[in-house]
Amino acid sequence: MSAQEQIQSTVEANDVVLFMKGTKTMPQCGFSSRVAGVLNYMGIDYQDVNVLENDEIRQGIKDFSDWPTIPQLYIKGEFVGGCDIITEMTLSGELDTMFETNGVAYDKEAADKIREANA
């Protein structure tokens, strides 16, 4: 299976996928840590893919999304964005709306606490 096929399969098989450096329990870069931290705090059930384990996936995800940086978040097969976009969407409430629209369970109180702490 090619890297593109692996990526496509992973994105289709999971409601929420984070392609990141490291894992959800041990991120290995600040940007991946920030996005994983938001998802973990909000109680999102998501699949993490450590791009550091496979150079083909690491480059392949950039080609797949036509986005040059990692981490990359996918919700219901749709590329949402990287660290800055996810941070902005979390603070604006757009990420909550996206989870609700797509039927992804999350902790609304936790999301509100993130916004309160960053107000």
Sorted by where each starts, the structural domains of the chain and their CATH numbers stand as 3-113 (3.40.30.10)
Annotated binding-site ranges for [2Fe-2S] cluster = 29
Residue 1: band (very low, low, confident or very high) from pLDDT cuts 50, 70, 90: confident
Annotated binding-site ranges = 29
pLDDT tens figures, 45-91: 999 999 999 999 999 999 999 999 999 999 999 999 999 999 999 99
CA dihedral for 68, 71, 73, 77, sign (positive or negative): positive
